[in-house]
Every structure is written in C-alpha cells, then in structure tokens.
Structure 1
Amino acid sequence: MAISRRLLNDGESVVIDTRTHVKALLWPLILLVVLLAVGTYVQVQWDQRVAYVVWAIVAVAVVWWVLRPVIVWATASYTFTDRRLITRSGVLVRRGHDMPLARISDIAYEFGLIDRMLGCGTLLISDASTHGTIKLHDIPRVEETQRKVNEMLQRIHDRSGGHDGV
C-alpha cells in the first residue's frame, strides 16, 4: 500500500489505493533509448574527448528527464478511504490534499483512444466549494474506480439521510 497507516484515522479503511498509470513513463523511456543511442553513436563515430562531453550531457539529461519523472511517479499516490480522498506527491517537498467524501458533489471520468487501449483515464472530482474540479490524470481502471467511489458516496448519502429533492 502506498499510503502509510499512520495517516489514517481510527476506524478508517482504504478502499482504493492507486498511482498514475505506467503510461506516464512512456516518454521518459523513449527519451532514455534516444539518449543512449546518441551517446553510443558519438562514442563510436567521434573523438574520445567529444564522446566524454556528450556522455556527460546524456547523464545530466537522463537524471533530469528520465530518473526524475520515474521518482515523481513512484512517490505520488491517490487513496480513497471510506471517509476521504488523500493525494500525496513530491520527493523532497511532499504535497498532500485531503478531501472528505461528503464534500464530493460529482465524480466523472474521461479518456481518449490511447487511454482506452491502455485502460486508464482522468478522474474528475467536483466538490461544492469554489475550488472547482480536481483532476487525477492517468488513473488505472478509471471506470471501475469511478464506480467504486460512486458506491461509497451513495452509502455516505444514505447514512446521512440526504434526499435528492425529488
């Protein structure tokens, strides 16, 4: 589980625990292959001193455009408990956002063709405040996640005795 148990309140249980789909690592992986190909080509075709300079540039580029996105991906999490949505992200500076499920007024999803092929999409969570919509991008099995959250919201609504006004 990506979220620490100490972040949960007494009696609170995790229902959905996920992170961004692995799709988010596609461009860093492609860039890694290209950078390694460039470094190898320069090493074989050019002077050794030029190759050292190019490999140094490749190393910096790999750290910034490949390793950093992988670490950011690995440290971000989205967790729905039976009471709230918990988001955590960041490596050196951690950012978090908690939203009680009772404040959620609407939950929807959207996905394009590639998202559908990969089984992920964007979860759109609206609350009654002026903050608007929270977008959780590239959520794996987004339709299933949306359905589970809707079930939790319905249980909260039923327990509170809320009425639809119909």
Structure 2
Amino acid sequence: MAYPDALLGEHEHVVVHKHPHWKMLVLPVLALLVVVGGGSYLAALAAPLSWHLPVWVVLAVVAAIMVVWFTVAPLLRWRTTHFVITTHRLMVREGVFTRSGVDIPLGRISSVRFRHGLLDRMVGCGTLVVESASDEPLEFDDIPAVEKVHTLLHREISQPDQEDA
C-alpha cells in the first residue's frame, strides 16, 4: 500500500514505505489460538451442566475481550505504524486513535546505523539507528530488510535531490 501522496510535499516521492516486521504479530496470533482453544475447552467442560448457557455467554464475552485486547489491538497498531523514507525526509507515523509522528529532514541526518541479532537476521529485520544534527539517536525497531533500508536511506542522504537542482 502506497503512502498517501496528499501528505507529501511538492516534488517529494516515496522511496521506502514499510510496516514493522511481521514478527510483531507472532504473540498476538498465539494469544488468539490460546484464547480460542482455552475457551472451547472450558465450553466443552461446561456443556454437561444444566446451567451451561450462562457459562457459555460469560466465556464468549471474556474471550471476545481477550481477543480484542491481545490480538486485534496489536494488529491495528501494526497496521497503522508506517516507516517512510521519501526524497526529502524520513517519517514515522504510529497510533490508532491518537497518532504520533516523527519527521527528520534528510539534510539533518548525520549518520545511519543498523543492528540485528541472530533471531532478527533469521526473520529478516532489525533496528535502524538514525542520528540527526542536534537530537539524540532515534531507534526504529523491527524494520523489515533493515540492511536494504539502511542502504537506501544512506543513498538518499548522500545524493543531492535531482529535481531541486
């Protein structure tokens, strides 16, 4: 999904647009499986009871709350988190109901580093560390293909913008 062009400046183009790596969704999916499995087991245990219907209603309500809390909310957070590199800036937008964002003009970025441990390397993600001229380094975790993103960002920083020249 492309980043909305209406949010970009004149002569600004998206170079990279990514969501956090899918590994952020492993625990929410496991939580869904545990809630569904546990709820089904408890519902089966309650089936022989004469008052099983109220138990099933309570189980369904508790399971629905848990699914929303532990699966749907993280999925929405993942989906609404954007890491975008354009020809003019690096942008990070996150949040479902309350949005927050960081914009760093490419000209103010002084260094770009990445790091990834063994698990990150196995699944293909890592942490991108961006230092700007006056701020403390910003770390962006779970960036997919972090080495490629690092290279593209470094290339954008090193190249003067061709359209502005």
Q: How high is the TM-score relative to the length of structure 2?
A: 0.89
Q: Aligned Cα RMSD in Å?
A: 1.4
Counterpart AA for 1:124: V
Give the secondary structure class of the aligned counterpart of 2:10: coil
Q: 1:68-109, CA deviations, whole angstroms, 9 ceiling, x for partnerless residues?
A: 010111111011011101111111122121110111111111
Counterpart position of 2:147: 143
Q: Which residue number corresponds to residue 96 of structure 1?
A: 101
SS in 2 for 1:40: helix
Structure 2's unaligned 5+ residue stretches are none
Q: What's the counterpart of residue 71 of structure 2?
A: 66
After superposition, give the CA deviation of every residue in 1:117-149 in whole Å (9 maximum; x if it has no partner): 1101111111121x3111111111000110111
2:2 and 2:71 map into 1 onto residues whose CA distance is 22
Instruction: Report the Cα offset of residue 51 of structure 1.
Output: 3.1
* Amino acid paired to 1:155: Q
SS of residue paired to 2:97: coil
Q: Is the 8 A contact 1:2 1:77 kept in 2?
A: no
Residue matched to 1:40 = 40
Q: In structure 2, what is the equivalent of residue 112 of structure 1?
A: 117
- SS of 1:152's equivalent? helix
Q: How many aligned positions are there?
A: 156
Percent of pairs with identical residues: 35
Q: Which residue of 1 aligns with 2:17?
A: 17
Q: Partners in 2 of 1:126 and 1:156 — Cα distance?
A: 19
Letter in 2 for 1:107: V
Partner Cα distance (2:137, 2:66) in 1 = 34
> How far is 1:113 from its partner?
1.3
Dislocated runs of 4+, deviation >2 Å: 49-52
Following superposition, the deviation at residue 14 of structure 1 comes to 0.8
Contact 2:3 2:14 in 1 (8 A): no
User: Deviation at 1:54?
Assistant: 2.2
Cα displacement (A) at 1:2: 4.3
The answer for the alignment partner of 2:157 in structure 1 is 153
Task: Name the counterpart of 1:162.
Answer: none
**CA contact 2:35–2:63 (8 Å) conserved in 1:** yes
Q: CA deviation at 1:50?
A: 2.6
Partner SS state of residue 114, structure 2:
strand
Q: How does 1:117-132 map to 2 (within 5 A)?
A: 117-129=122-134, 131-132=135-136
TM-score, scaled relative to structure 1: 0.89
Residue of structure 2 in register with 1:134 after alignment: 138
CA distance in 1, matches of 2:157, 2:119: 29
Deviation at 1:7, TM superposition (A): 1.1
Amino acid at match of 1:3: Y
